Structure 1
Amino acid sequence: MLPKSQQRDKQSLTIVVKIGTSSICNEVTHFPLLSNLSALVESVLHLRSLGHRVVLVTSAAVGTGLRRLNMAEKPSKLAARQAVAAVGQGRLMALYDDLFGQFGQPVAQLLLTKNDLADRSQYLNAVNCLEELLDMGVVPIVNENDTISTQGIRFGDNDTLSAIMAGMIKADYLFLLTDVDCLYTDNPRTNPDAQPVTVCDDMATLMDKVSVSSMGSSLGTGGMATKLIAADLAIAAGVITIITNGSKTKNIHQIIEADRNAELTAPLHTRFVAKNNPLLDRKWWIQYGLHTAGTIFVDEGAAKAILAPRIKSSLFAAGIVDVEGSFVAQQAVAIATRQGDTVQVIGKGIVNYSSIEVSRVKRCHSAEIANILGYVDSECIIHRDNLVRTKSL
């Protein structure tokens, strides 16, 4: 018997919607923008009525906490920001529960840090929990756990978190709701010559064409640059990614319908085309779910083997020329080449040995490892099943 996720109607889509702080809270007063939130809830409910599964990734815990504590601006001290987020998270969830509850729609809260997904078993548990909630007809509401996350274990922003959620559940769409209709070549508020970007099928080319230096709001954690990073993550997992206006949530349904019916015209938005050969779940987790603890530098021969059309070879000690950083076995490291001062990261993988051990056996053949270390845990430093390239030939 097929699992529930494979028994769904072929017309049913899995959709992740990320809404930012500027679409939820007034930047000055910190009062909730109830019209935006109500429209978002109605749009999610409409998608649910069509049989689609929806995950909502939300910001604004800090903004909501500032309103409750009558504070004018986000504090600079980390512990103070965490305290404000602790106050705001409950209030924010209560607001969502009340709005969705008016229509009898159950919701669930998931608070995550990057550490929660670094362990493979915890990552799979999170995936299973999300899938079960969606199969139950629940709308999961996800946020970063700002009360305990620190710089080293943060996703960085909820754009990145939403992309990771989309990859975890193999979503069909990721919608990044912002305060403009789409991505522009420059800030349209300051440059009248800025042009809309409607389709992107090559992220590297796009980054040369657009300027995304402007930051997000005073309450948010990032601007358009973080959305491009999130889009890059999501399309690598095979997820169509859309940037559209958060105050026009009906756009979500209209964009999806226009995809299904060529006679319909979609509202202005930016579409990032999903890759035809997305990373497999485990390799996607290695690349995006694991903290990079150090760097292993390889020679030209090892680099060519990694960058070959299909990774057929593991990384052996003989191809390693240098090691940077401190890591232990089973942590993830970057794999890079170095020519003079130029460093190019070409892959990432889970190591079988610590940084000290790799330093001792670099440039040696596998048969020599036992003599050098006194033991052999593995013939290779990184097995091909635990290795993913981050650059193509």
Structure 2
Amino acid sequence: MFRAEDIRKDFPILNREVNGNPLIYLDNAATSQTPQQVIDTIVDYYSNYNANIHRGVHTLSQEATDKYEQARLKIQAHFHAKHAHEIILTSGTTHSINIVASGFTSLLNEGDEIIVSALEHHSNIVPWQMLCERTGAILKVIPMNQDGELLMEAYHGLLSEKTKLVFVNHISNALGTINPIEHIIEKAHQIGAAVLIDGAQACPHIKIDVQKLDVDFYVASAHKMCGPTGVGMLYGKEALLKELPPYQGGGEMIAEVTFEKTTYADLPHKFEAGTPNICGGIAFGAAIDYMNAIGIDTIAAYENELLEYATKKLLEIEGLKIYGTSKRKTSVISFNLEGVHPYDVGTILDKLGIAVRTGHHCAQPIMNFYNIPGTVRASFSFYNTKNEIDALIDGVKKAQRMLS
């Protein structure tokens, strides 16, 4: 039986105090916390087999290589990729997106069209704007409604024979909306466009099967799913990854180098120039093991319970407005108090030991749509409790009394 109180024992940071109060960590959409099992993996690496990988014949190098490639296999299995070499280990979601955006520079022509959505994080907007500047391609945007949902009829109208690429997040980091990516992928493929899904916010909450989705590219970050910062993955269909040129040049990504010509290594190494975040990759695998031991479906069910409880409690506060009211969403609530700046609310909550995120959440177009400067965002994970939500409610009420 799942008990958050038992799970919390795995997370040493949850024992600390902030400003004289017990830490209540509700900023999981930015970075989840790290369990002791993953911390132990990091310590073990640096204590026992720290060495560069793939190039050494000595024992430490071979041990590190084996552990790193075992992590790749864990990631492949978790996301159900067909081949291990379709998993490119990167520094995170942003790096992964930029690999694809850079690669398509040589594959797009002036007048080609690419589509993003109004719900995107800046990391799934800016690289495509830069791609358009390099190629003369045109950027189109799927609009959203007041509930924070994408307008599918408008999406259908944007698709044409000129559409080459579609980029949508699986879940909005700012609003928690779960987008209908199955439908988006299917419609894009009908007109021959490739699809990249930003899965950074989905991976902690949903079991992902890239083959079932038939998605062309899927990207994620370890630090959203109990892993370390500075590591993530790019999944790409083998044929598309072979078509894309390398993103960076250097060691590891080559087959042979002469001053006259260089040939590139096979997948996945073609996209993994230089010494990678070896420890991070191994710890990413450990984080996946940890979450799978609990069960993604179990996690999702409990987090949905927290979401429903927190939504009900927050809406009881007069003058509080929630942004993002889609029927399909994950455990993220963005809200504001009438007449109060979100930064001020976040500051008071921090004095109470409650960590939330305030601002535009790297999603300024969403804030512009609602004509607001930003929101207070509380995002819940499976180690949070209803008691913590009660403390959040009390803190918001206190902020309202102080600031109104």
Report the TM-score when normalising by structure 2.
Answer: 0.26
More helix by percentage:
2
Report the TM-score when normalising by structure 1.
Answer: 0.27
